[in-house]
Amino acid sequence: MTSDPPGSRQKAGHGARLRPRAQSMTNTLDHLPADLNRHRVLSAAEAAAFLNLSLPHFRRLYRSGAVPPPIRLSERRLGWRVGDLIVWIEARQSRPVAA
């Protein structure tokens, strides 16, 4: 039994969780120069975390075509360029918020 405070653990399927190997690689890539960082390709979980969205919500946005299109890395693997996600965020910031 763990001694985590109530509510501190994520429910299964919610939030982006990175495997230890992916997390260590992400930490290594965090030291890239800013101009190269825009070309980084993120997994769905990493892209969701980058956008501060849950993975299920990010997938809903992807299926509806609301987020930038991914790059097909292999037959079964998709990735999102950081630069494309940044442009998408900036475009959303320029829209007025509905009252």
| CATH code, 45 | 1.10.1660
- Give the tens place of pLDDT for each residue, 6-45: 554 444 445 555 555 555 555 555 676 777 788 899 999 9
* Structural domain includes residue 71: yes
* Structural domain includes residue 1: no
Give the tokens for residue 69.
């299109």
**Structural domain harbouring 72:** 24-93
Q: What total number of domains does the chain contain? A: 1
Q: Are 73 and 30 in contact (CB under 8 A)?
A: no
* Structural domain includes residue 63: yes
CA–CA separation, 73 and 52 (whole Å): 23
* Structural domain includes residue 30: yes
* Structural domain includes residue 32: yes
- Give the tens place of pLDDT for each residue, 35-94: 778 889 999 999 999 999 999 999 999 999 999 999 999 999 999 999 999 999 999 887
Which H helix or E strand runs over 35?
Answer: helix 34-37
* Structural domain includes residue 35: yes
CA–CA separation, 95 and 85 (whole Å): 16
